[in-house]
Amino acid sequence: MMPSEQAPTAKPAVKYRSQLRIYVDIMKVIQREGNQAKPTRILYGANLSHDRLVKYLEELKTLEIIQETGDEEKTYSLTQKGIEFMNNFRKVESFAGAFGFKI
């Protein structure tokens, strides 16, 4: 076998994101966009399919973490609860990261 060839049985190492990680990725995109993000931005920024994006945005709205504004051109922003969650999450991320643990 040539060095460039892959063994047919070798599977790529896939690490699936947890639901929390996806929530956080969405919220990070919204914050990065100045707390006013359009769905397309979130879709690309959080690397999600359209169906999954709609599902997670609905869940975050139900949890009162984000709010939706605009009728024709929807935008999403973090609520106060969402901002507090992100502040706490960043602390946890920083704490775990100091030990070398990823969350």
Partner 1 sequence: MHNAEVSLLFSNTLGDRLAAAVGFFGFDSLMELVGFAIAIAVAFQAMKGYTLAKERTLLYLNFSFILLGAGLLVEGLANLVVLFSRFHRGGLLFLSSVGYTINFFAEVLAFGILIFAYLQQTRAWSMQLAAAALPIMLVERNPFTELILIFLLVYIAAQTAINYSISKTTNALLVFSAFTSLVIGHVFFLLFTVSPIFFPFAHIFQLFGFLLLLAMLFRVNQAR
Q: Which residues bind partner 1 (CB under 8 A)?
A: 18, 20, 85, 87-92, 94-103
Closest distance between partner 1 and the C-beta of residue 4, in Å?
27
Beta bridge partners of 75: 69
Q: For residues 44 and 95, which CB has a smaller minimum distance to partner 1 in the complex?
A: 95
CA gap 84, 101 in Å, rounded:
22
Q: How far is the CB of 51 from partner 1 (least distance, A)?
A: 25
Please say which residue, 43 or 66, places its beta carbon nearer to partner 1: 66
Instruction: Point out which residues pair with 67 in neighbouring strands.
Output: 77
Nearer to partner 1, 8 or 100 (CB): 100
Residue 2 structure tokens: 């040539």
Opening angle at CA 85, ends 80 and 89, nearest 5? 150
